[in-house]
């Protein structure tokens, strides 16, 4: 995913920054503990499509 794009995208819930997980190919918000899939370089930021992250999964992503 283009790093420039990740700099301008925000979480649809809190409007905070999103981080990119290259391994899982998804953007995530550490504040809301939500993950958004990225398919063919296109992020799916539809709130209803977001995946909840557990505390453990979030910790793993932030390492």
Mean pLDDT of 16-21: 96
Question: Distance (Å, rounded) from C-alpha 39 to C-alpha 61?
Answer: 19
The architecture CATH gives domain 3-56: Single Sheet (2.20)
User: Does 49 have pLDDT greater than 90?
Assistant: yes
DSSP the chain: --HHHHHH-B-TTT--B-EEETTTTEEEETTTTEEEEEETTEE---GGG-EE--HHHHHHHH-
Q: Note the pTM of the prediction, 2 decimals.
A: 0.92
Cβ–Cβ under 8 Å, residues 49 and 37: yes
Res. 3 pLDDT band, cuts 50 70 90 = confident
Mean pLDDT of 14-36: 97
pLDDT at 21: 97
User: Does 57 have pLDDT greater than 90?
Assistant: yes
Question: Distance (Å, rounded) from C-alpha 59 to C-alpha 9?
Answer: 22
């Amino acid at each position: 995913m283009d790093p420039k794009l990740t700099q301008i995208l925000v979480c649809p819930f809190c409007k905070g920054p999103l981080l990119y997980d290259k391994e899982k190919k998804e953007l995530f918000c550490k504040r809301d503990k939500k993950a958004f899939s990225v398919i063919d370089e296109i992020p799916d930021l539809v709130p209803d499509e977001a995946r909840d992250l557990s505390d453990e999964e979030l910790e793993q992503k932030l390492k």
